[in-house]
Chains A and B, each alone.
Chain A
Amino acid sequence: MLSEETLIDYLEGRLPETERPGVERHLAGCDRCLEELQLIQEALSEQVLAQFESVSSDIRRETIQQVLGLSKQPDNLEKPWFSDWKKQVLRYADRLLPWWNLRLAPVRGAPAVIDRDHFTTEKSFADLEAKIEIDRTGANQADIRVTVLENPTRVSLLRVTLRKGDREVASFLFADAAAVFEDLEFGHYELWFSLDGAVAGTYAFEIKESRNDE
């Protein structure tokens, strides 16, 4: 059977010339695909679909519940996704530092430098690069330092805001290319970066006591 994209690309005339004969050959023989071609041609029209009932919010909610339920199944848990990577990373890590309780999360961005009480990461957005450093300063205390690494001319338009839940903890305009948030309790935080008034990126994280043997 033809892939959905191939069928639609063919229908809308975007398929490369070299691929068209193959698709036509398939369609000439495959009744199922031919029917789908007809159906999708009609269904692509918003006008055609407009005559039908719109979805209700409880149907949507129910579907969301079912979809989220998938993630609790063994097939979809995060751990199996990364167990191979985890082994590789752990092996490498032993050579660098003693690491414990390694946990991986799917994220884009520059590598993190890990130390006992210090965490650094770099995130890029727009044409800027921000360095975020988190230092443990006590049993339930940390400092966050945000530095902007590139483009000093743009920095003056950059604002970084630390939020905890709904609450805004503090907000700085980048005057000296560094913003420091001190004496923070452990918990869930978000750093919001805005450039010239518009939000350019957010970074959410949780600072917590780690447990051994996880």
Chain B
Amino acid sequence: MDLLLPNIQVSHIGVGFEIQQKFQWNAMTQLPTCTDKELLRQCTAGNQQAWEELVNRFSDVVFRTIQFSLHRYNVPYSRRDLEDFHNTVFLKLFEHRCKKLRQYKGTNGCSVRSWIRLIAIRVVIDRLRADGRDADARLPGKRNLEELPELAGHFQDPLSRLEAAEKSRLLQKALGMLQPRDRLFLKLHFLEELSIGRVAKMLNITENNAYSVKHRALNRLKAGLERISASQN
């Protein structure tokens, strides 16, 4: 058995004499200049100077991300609210022995900075939901995909003689039959009302490709609708 496990070091001598190691050994030292990943390692190892450095390093991006999120939800806030959110985000990172910090892996290249941004967004959304300030916790003006006249408008033929509620139901069924990618596209473009260009960016396809996806998705949806209404008659 290994006497000393990784990250653990005995730091003691016998009676009368004692060495206590205070900080983590850090080749390439100096917390302010170490990489984000290295800083996270220091934090999860319990180095409290690193904890402080982490807050200092990401405080501004967290603070701004919080404001951005609240703005997007059209939620009014005070400076006190911002302080609260700011505290909550960092406490979430460090509590339970840095449980959240330990989750970060960076395997596919996600930066710590981006990662922390999304954590801040999630904290804001969670709090808004819990407070009931935005009970739906949806971005303003959102409804369900199947309720959108913009979408239903594409399918006059199968849907024209139907009541609104019936239209929705049918659409919902047909949407469920779509490939996830098609459904995702329709949600982003019609529900979230993102431009084709923006959707293309999100799905990592070219804009031309996005137009094809839109065309294909709508065709498939129409085919699905026709199939369903045919089977119901």
Contact = CB atoms under 8 A, between A and B. Distances in A.
A151 interface: no
A51 B132 CA distance: 27
Given A9-B108, A28-B181, A37-B202, A107 B25 contact: yes
Interface string B2-23: 0111111111111111111111
Contacts of B72: 39, 42
A104 B106 CA distance: 29
A118 B13 contact: yes
- Considering residues B16, B82, B105, which has the most beta carbons from chain A within 10 angstroms of its beta carbon? B16
Contact of A119 (B13, B83, B204): B13
A55 B68 CA distance: 13
A13 B24 CA distance: 36
B46 A106 contact: yes
Contact of B91 (A67, A114, A124, A199): A67
A210 B14 contact: yes
A63 B86 contact: yes
Interface in A1-53: 3-5, 7-9, 11-16, 21, 24-25, 27-29, 31-32, 34-44, 48-50, 52-53
B52 to A, nearest CB: 5
Contacts of A54: 60, 63-64
B172 interface: no
Given A4-B119, A39-B72, A103-B20, A71 B184 contact: no
B145 to A, nearest CB: 9
B9 A112 contact: yes
Interface stretch (A75-83, A154-162, A165-173): A75-83
A64 to B, nearest CB: 5
Contacts of B86: 55, 59, 63
A169 B148 CA distance: 75
Contacts of B6: 108
Chain A interface mostly: mixed
A99 to B, nearest CB: 6
Interface string A73-115: 0011010011001001100110001111111111111011011
Contacts of A7: 118
Nearest to A27: B184
Contacts of A103: 11-12, 20
Contacts of B8: 82, 85, 89, 104, 106-107
Given A36-B121, A38-B194, A39-B69, A8 B13 contact: no
A153 interface: no
Interface string B22-37: 1111111110000000
Contacts of A134: 19
Given A34-B184, A210-B15, 13 more contacts: A4-B118, A4-B119, A7-B118, A21-B180, A27-B180, A55-B62, A63-B87, A81-B46, A82-B8, A85-B5, A99-B14, A106-B24, A115-B13
Interface of B: 1, 3-30, 45-48, 51-52, 55-56, 59-65, 67-69, 71-72, 82-83, 86-87, 90-91, 94-97, 103-110, 114-115, 117-119, 121-122, 125, 137-139, 178, 180-181, 183-184, 187-188, 192, 194, 198, 201-202, 204
Listed from nearest, the 5 A-B pairs whose CB atoms lie closest are: A125-B27, A210-B18, A55-B63, A25-B180, A28-B180
